[in-house]
Each structure stands twice: as structure tokens, then as C-alpha cells.
Amino acid sequence: MTKITAAITAVGAYIPEYRLTNKELETLVDTNDEWITTRTGIKERRILKDASLGTSYMAIKAAEDILKKKNLDPKEIDMIIVATATPDMSVAATAAYVASEIGATNAFGYDLAAACSSFLYGMSTAASYIASGRYKKVLVIGADKMSSIVDYTDRTTCIIFGDGAGAALFEPNEEGLGLQDEYLRSDGVGRNFLRIEAGGSLNPATHETVDKKQHFIKQDGKTVFKYAVSSMADACVNVMKRNDLTNEDVDWLVAHQANKRIIDATANRMGLKDENKVLINIEKYGNTTSATIPLVLFDYEKQFKKGDTLVFASFGGGFTWGSIYLKWAYNSN
């Protein structure tokens, strides 16, 4: 019997129009373009300005992009995972709403919350369902409206995050392409260093939590940075080693875009000498949390060739991190 693997067969995206530039941030907090650029690599990020719209708006647009490109009947979709740290609301899964809005009436869906690693974990889930033979079309959408949880008076976070959505369709492959291996990990120590303090069951919302600004994202950037650099690089090197991949074998590094310095350090540990293999778009979008990885796929899709070796990497709140080795399954154009 032919082994079934799970391949990405299409990518889609939605990016809000409004560009929040480093220059504009200079008018909001004590910062400057030079500091932001050299410390993070970010020049601007997109913001979903309409306060009446949530993460689902962007997730739906990214999903519709794929439906259009593939000329796909939404009724064929079996499952939808919305990877997000900013669901429309708690309890009611954003994925269920997205499925209904795009007409995926034969699908079930749920949200996957693992902060910046949500999309990577979602890839793993989708691929497992496909490889098991249980489902044939699984849509993984990474979407976050980070502007809904960012304090625009806090210069240590507001310069980093942006809004956006990206999506990937997973389907069975019988040529051995698609997801090959993964190394995923988590460590609860992370909740001391990157979190939203209130609004969950541990510390429910009160007038006081609002007054104390405890519903905004906060991080100890330096500590998170250190963990991110070592964990992301370790995960990638691990995946390379156990699959006998040399630096020459890796065609593309698709990393979570949190800080260009973290990505460069990871590429360095992997021995990637050709900087063109290290895919970067952080300058345009900032850190869109669950959306960074599919947005990289979307921006660079045309450069990927069938059979190319992609190594994915992420690190995020929790902490959650990991690496995935995937063989690209199609040529664009």
C-alpha cells in the first residue's frame, strides 16, 4: 500500500490595509526608527483599524483566497483549524464561525492556542489527520488581531506586533512529499515571561484588572529572546540531524517572524550560508503571532519548487516551540 503523507497544496492570505510605520510609532511612544530596525528588523506592521472586526474577518478572507485559487467547493473541506492567540471571543470557537461563513458546511473546526507556535502545531495536527487517512482536506489558518491586545503606550511591545492572516490547505500525497518529520516541545516556565495577566480563569476580568492594564500582552523581552534563540535553533538542528539533512540540503528556512536577530541566529546554527534561503518578511508585517509562518509561505510561494526542502521553526508564549521538515509539493504558475 502506498504511504500517505500530508502536503501543502495551496496558500492564501489577508493583510489589513493600514500601515503602522516606525515613524508613526515615534509619535506614540519614546522610540525611533533606527532602534526598532536594528533591534527587530521591523519597518512597519499592518493594523485592522475597524474596531467592529475581529480575527475571524481576516481568517475568512485568507480562507476565501485559497477557495478562489483552487476553485475549491467549500463543502469538500473536512476540517478547519484556526491557530490564534486572539479569538473573536472565548468559548465560541472562531473556527466554527469561519467554517460557516465560507460555506464549509461539512467541516468541523476548532481553535488552536499555542501563541506564536499555534500554526506550527496546527500543521502537525492537520498532517496527522491526513496521514491517518481520516480526512482529505484540512485547512489551517493562522490569524491574529494583535492590535486588540497591545498597549500602545508600552514601547517594549507595541513596536513588535501586527495584524494579519495566512492559510494553508493540507491534502494527501502519494509521492512522499509534504510533512516528513517534526520536533515539537513546550515548557510552562514561559508563562512567567510572556502573557496576558487577566481575563482567564486564574484572574478573571474586573474593573481593577482593566485599570491595571492587565488585559494587554506583556513580555520580558530579553528572557524570551534568550529562550527563543536557543530553543528554535536546537529544534531545527535536531530535525536536520535525525533526517540526515546537511545545510546544503535545506532549500528554505521558514521561521516565525518575531525578531530578525532570532531568525539569523537560528540560520547560523543550521549553517545556512546563503542568506537567500532564510525567508524574511518581518520588515513588512512585524510579529503577527499565528500568521507569520503562512504569511512567509504566501510571500515566497512562487520561489518554491516541487521537491524543495523546507525547514519550519517557531517559538512563542507558553513557552511553545519546534521545527518541522516538509517537502514542497507543487510548482506555482
Residue among 108 and 227 whose Cβ is closer to ligand UT7: 227
CB of 264 to ligand UT7, least distance (A): 12
> Among the candidate windows 96-104, 235-243, 255-263, 323-331, which touches ligand UT7 by CB under 6 A?
255-263
Concerning whether 256 is annotated as a catalytic residue, the answer is yes
What's the helix, strand, coil split of the chain in %, to 5?
40, 25, 35
CB of 120 to ligand UT7, least distance (A): 12
Of the candidates 22, 158, 256, 259, the residue annotated as catalytic is 256
Q: Is 254 helix (H, G, I), strand (E, B) or coil?
A: strand
Task: Decide: 98 and 165 in contact? Cβ < 8 Å.
Answer: no
> Among the candidate windows 105-113, 136-144, 240-248, 254-262, which touches ligand UT7 by CB under 6 A?
254-262
| Cell triple for 134 | 481520516
CB of 147 to ligand UT7, least distance (A): 15
Task: Decide: 313 and 266 in contact? Cβ < 8 Å.
Answer: yes
CB of 93 to ligand UT7, least distance (A): 23
State the number of CA atoms in the 13 A half-sphere of 20 facing the CB: 25
Residue 31 interacts with ligand UT7 (CB under 6 A): yes or no: yes
Window 187-226: contact mask with ligand UT7 (x via CB under 6 A): ----------------------------------xx-xx-
Among 98, 143, 139, residue whose Cα is nearest residue 290:
143
Residue 143 interacts with ligand UT7 (CB under 6 A): yes or no: no
Look-up of cell digits 524570551: 224
Look-up of cell digits 486564574: 202
Q: At residue 16, what are phi and psi to the nearest 5 degrees? A: -60, 155
Could you tell me which residues are beta bridge partners of residue 167? 12, 141
> Among the candidate windows 46-54, 151-159, 198-206, 242-250, which touches ligand UT7 by CB under 6 A?
151-159
Residue among 99 and 115 whose Cβ is closer to ligand UT7: 115
- Count of positions (residues) in the chain: 333
Residue nearest to ligand UT7 (CB): 221
Q: Of residues 107-136, which lie at the interface with ligand UT7 (CB under 6 A)?
A: 116
Q: Of residues 43-82, which lie at the interface with ligand UT7 (CB under 6 A)?
A: none
CA distance 260 to 324: 19
Binds ligand UT7 by CB under 6 A, chosen from 228, 254, 272, 282: 228
| Cell triple for 7 | 502536503
Residue 39 interacts with ligand UT7 (CB under 6 A): yes or no: yes
Q: Is 120 helix (H, G, I), strand (E, B) or coil?
A: helix
Give the N- to C-terminal CA distance of the chain in Å, as an integer: 32
Interface residues with ligand UT7 (CB under 6 A) are 31, 35, 39-40, 116, 155-156, 159, 221-222, 224-225, 228, 258-259, 262, 287, 315-316
Q: Would you please indicate which residues are annotated as catalytic (active-site) residues?
A: 116, 256, 287
